[in-house]
Structure 1
Amino acid sequence: MARRPHASRRPAQPIRATSMWRVDQVFLSRRGQRVEVIASLVNDQGGLRNLITIAPTDDPAEAVRHAARFVAGKGNVYEARNARVRWTRAQSATAQDELIRDRALEDEFLDAFLETLGEVRDQMR
């Protein structure tokens, strides 16, 4: 079969069956007696994706641990270092509150993420 003269000359991009994702930001919002957690993920091709879970608690620390286990359990999320944890606008009392990161919750999220990721990798061996 002859090639068409106007065919694209771009190098072929490999097709990836699954993209590997990293956690960029984590947003928290209260939903009654529960906390909704949205993990914003990015991949190396610039793709964006959100994973949403409702933690069965109103304790923010337990909610981020629950979310970290949920996200790490997906298997194709490889990194959560430097993930910022923030409350959504609806939970902020002032515009300044929107800028405040909760570093203690970031540590909780990362610890639970790494623990679960280790367990997932151990199961794959």
Structure 2
Amino acid sequence: MWRVDQVFLARRGQRIEVICSLVSEHGGLRNLSVTAPTDDPTQAVRHAAHFIAGKGNVSSARQARVRWARQQVVTEQDELIRDRLLEDEFLDEFEETLAAVRDQQR
């Protein structure tokens, strides 16, 4: 199973690309990206969380960090800033979708 480790946001015109960095139980790494049909960061992370949790092989998003991608930051300090409100939005949507997927599998 995989877990979400980090989430990066990048503006792509009128949309936001969300890249989720996943880590497996065996130390594997992979990225999944989805372009949200919105320019609102909150809606974009919720869209991405729904997509990732719906895949069925990602078990957790606890402690996932949400940041803007390097090309979106103005200073080096910006790279270190986590968006805790977006982290909460991502986790809430992820948990809701994961619960719905598990209910359907029963």
TM-score of Structure 1 vs Structure 2, range by shorter chain: over 0.9
Q: Segments of 4+ in structure 1 off by > 6 A?
A: none
The answer as to 2:24 corresponding to 1:46 is: no
* 2: CA distance, partners of 1:90 / 1:40: 17
Report the equivalent of 1:84. Answer: 65
The letter of the residue matching 2:60 is E
Number of equivalenced pairs: 106
* 2: CA distance, partners of 1:49 / 1:121: 23
- Residue 115 of structure 1: CA displacement? 0.3
Report the equivalent of 1:6. Answer: none
Q: Where do 5+ consecutive residues of structure 2 fail to align?
A: none
Which of the two has greater helix per residue?
2
- Residues 1-125 of structure 1: pairs in structure 2 closer than 5 A: 20-125=1-106
Greater Rg over alpha carbons, structure = 1
Which of the two has greater strand per residue?
2
Using the aligned pairs only, state the percent identity. Answer: 75
* Structure with larger RCO (C-alpha < 8 A, sep 6+): 2
CA deviation string 1:82-103 (max 9, x = no partner): 0000001111010000000000
CA deviation string 1:9-49 (max 9, x = no partner): xxxxxxxxxxx000000000000000000000001110001
Q: Over the residues paired in the alignment, what is the CA RMSD in angstroms?
A: 0.4
* 2: CA distance, partners of 1:71 / 1:110: 11
* 2: CA distance, partners of 1:27 / 1:81: 15
Q: Where do 5+ consecutive residues of structure 1 fail to align?
A: 1-19
* 2: CA distance, partners of 1:34 / 1:43: 29
